[in-house]
Structure 1
Amino acid sequence: MNNAFLFIACALIWGSTWIAITFQTGETPPLVAVAWRFTIASLCLGLFCLIRRLPMRLPLHIHIKMAGVGLFLYTLDYTLLYAAQHFIISALLALMSSCIIYINVGLRRWWLKQPVRPEVLIGATLGMVGITLIFIPEFAHVRLDAALALGLGIAMVSFFCASVGNVISERILDKGTPVIQMNFYAMTYGLVFLYGSALIGGQSFALPDSPDFYIALLYLGVFGSVLAFGSYMKLLQQIGSDKAAYVVLVYPIVALIISTFFEGYRWTLLAGIGVGVVLFGNAIAMGKVPLPGRKAIKRAAATSPDTPG
């Protein structure tokens, strides 16, 4: 499937889930909200596999890795991210999310022995600068206190867990595991951790009264989890977890566009420049803008004579 289509699909869906998540925070414990979200997603994927009669038998070592994805990406990442939103503003979360790209690059190098791609680091840095420009007015209201420090710490652990889940997913998909089956098993394993932790921790499973909660839950389960993660994992399989992670810097822009129509967000000149910087960084990260000297280096490597042994 076309990489641009997959990238845009992820950005559009996840950009809208930022608003949907706000209808869940405070209504029920984060652990329970995430468990319900991925219950819907897992049921949808399982039903699809059953109807299409997809092959479900996979080696034990793949199941162990998928359980790792369920723990780090679908359990720890999302639970901690929901919890962090109680302490810090979404603008700060959007800026901090750029760390995922750097962590992915480091983990891919250490764990998967994949080379560090300079265009990804340059693109990520430009993306961070762009996000900063977009949210400068919001950062002016941030005051460092114990609650903010706690939120920052929770968010950083969340993003590290997301990166671990990303790299494990890339390793699984490199083995030829189908995306749909992998997501089904990973989310199902995640449910074991989510419900188990909620029960051990004595979390309340009381149903909220707000209809908006259930509309948001359905949207997050079907669109935010089944469709968006399906697109993201396919993108990760085709271009690598370092480049795929750039979507986390683009979907806050989508969230702002949606906020413009529904919440009256007002654009500034700096925000417009920031969007341009983020998109330019994305073009560099995806190899659409060649870096100076890269072609010359490749040409030299291709034409140089072999060194005598």
Structure 2
Amino acid sequence: MTDDTAEQSLLRPRIVVPFILTGIIWGSTWWVITDQIAGMPPSWSVAIRFAVATPAMFVLAKLMRRNLAIGLSGQLLALAIGITQFCGNFNFVYRAEQHLTSGIVAVMFTMLIVSNAAFGWWLLGQRITRNFVLGTLVALAGISLLLIHEARLSPLGGSIPLGILWAVLGILAASIANVVQANQTGRALPMVSLLAWSMLYGTIADFALAWLTAGPPVLPDRATFWLGIGWLALAGSVVTFPLHYTLVREIGAGRAAYNGIVTVIVAMLLSTLFENYRWNPLTILGALLALAGLVIALRARQTPPPALKQAA
């Protein structure tokens, strides 16, 4: 990224379009996950999802003519991303939804804003600006209102503290993956190639974890399960992760995490249409504050560390 590019507003099409697209797609996935874990061990649901997504990502890399030879350092990075993102993060999320409603888990995951920015500052030297802090505080106020309403509205089963613990662990795992892929080694590699290998390692870990924790798989015969697998694997993984990780490289891990707010708003709008979600003054104010914080943070300028030339 040149100095001139760094000085441009972040509200430009090459940033906004993938930002909104990933938020919309991921907003729908919280819905689908609830069906995925209905009568199915969560680890096997995750493993099957990435067993479908992984070969699709390799095919995408070949279609884009990206070099799949990423070297030893690239393979080690892919292993780290695979374990944290495509095994740890998703297994934690699916387990969290056994104890908390999907809306609450989705709202909690907007905390990626804070953890991504903190890890980005600590590991990559990405500066946290005053406007980013202001935008984050405004957005968190709105998220808190949405979370309060959701907690009052939804009768929660299972262990609420355990659900919160799983969600927090998922947030930390996702943040680590978000930030480490944007280091010097990651920036020098083709994004889809790095993701393909990362998904492969994550899938291997998913199958091992599923077998150890749940025994041999018993595949469901529900059509909704397999349709959900297709959506989560292809749209929710193969389409979105290259876009999202490219955003992390372009605008930093902290700001990229703001698509979590778009995700929450989309998830709540879908609930309004299909789950009879009831809006009230509290939720309207929360949504407006979250969006206002998003705009403030995105309008902030940043001075990222020098980026290496990305391989073709």
TM range (shorter): 0.7 to 0.9
Could you tell me which of 119, 122, 128 is aligned with 1:116? 128
Counterpart in 1 of 2:44? 32
Shift of 1:120: 2.5
Counterpart in 2 of 1:95? 107
Give the letter for the 2:142 counterpart: G
Instruction: Flag the 1:280–1:206 CA change in 2: closer, same or farther, 3 A.
Output: same
Could you tell me which of 55, 77, 85 is aligned with 2:97? 85
Could you tell me which of 69, 72, 81 is aligned with 1:69? 81
Cα distance in structure 1, aligned partners of 2:156 and 2:56: 42
Alpha carbons 1:41, 1:225 under 8 Å: kept? yes
1:19 aligns with 2:31: yes
Give the letter for the 1:31 counterpart: S
Shift of 1:180: 1.1
Query: Any idea what the Cα deviations from partners look like across 1:239-268, whole Å, max 9, x if unmatched?
Result: 111110111122111011112221222221
Could you tell me which of 212, 221, 224 is aligned with 1:200? 212
Cα distance in structure 1, aligned partners of 2:184 and 2:26: 23
Alpha carbons 2:34, 2:102 under 8 Å: kept? no
Counterpart in 1 of 2:248? 236
Alpha carbons 1:102, 1:121 under 8 Å: kept? no
Name stretches of at least 5 consecutive residues in structure 2 with no aligned partner: 1-12, 304-312
TM-score (norm 2): 0.86
Give the letter for the 1:137 counterpart: H
TM-score (norm 1): 0.87
Counterpart in 2 of 1:303? none
Instruction: Flag the 1:266–1:141 CA change in 2: closer, same or farther, 3 A.
Output: closer
**Equivalent runs, 1:144-155 vs 2, <5 Å:** 147-155=159-167
Instruction: Flag the 1:112–1:217 CA change in 2: closer, same or farther, 3 A.
Output: same
2:159 is paired with a residue whose SS is helix
Counterpart in 2 of 1:58? 70
Counterpart in 1 of 2:310? none
Give the letter for the 1:189 counterpart: Y
1:132 aligns with 2:147: no
Give the letter for the 1:170 counterpart: A
Counterpart in 2 of 1:158? 170
Could you tell me which of 10, 14, 37 is aligned with 1:2? 14
Shift of 1:146: 8.0
Aligned pairs, number: 291
Give the letter for the 2:245 counterpart: M
Cα distance in structure 2, aligned partners of 1:57 and 1:273: 50
Cα distance in structure 2, aligned partners of 1:126 and 1:61: 40
Counterpart in 2 of 1:185? 197
Alpha carbons 2:186, 2:194 under 8 Å: kept? no
Query: What value does the CA root-mean-square deviation take over the aligned residues?
Result: 2.3
Shift of 1:275: 1.5
Name stretches of at least 5 consecutive residues in structure 1 with no aligned partner: 299-309
Give the letter for the 1:251 counterpart: T
Instruction: Flag the 1:260–1:171 CA change in 2: closer, same or farther, 3 A.
Output: same
Alpha carbons 1:72, 1:162 under 8 Å: kept? yes
Give the letter for the 1:44 counterpart: A
Cα distance in structure 1, aligned partners of 2:186 and 2:54: 22
Counterpart in 1 of 2:290? 278
Alpha carbons 2:20, 2:262 under 8 Å: kept? no
Could you tell me which of 39, 43, 60 is aligned with 1:48? 60
Cα distance in structure 2, aligned partners of 1:143 and 1:202: 27
Cα distance in structure 1, aligned partners of 2:31 and 2:14: 27
Cα distance in structure 1, aligned partners of 2:121 and 2:144: 27
Could you tell me which of 212, 232, 235 is aligned with 1:220? 232
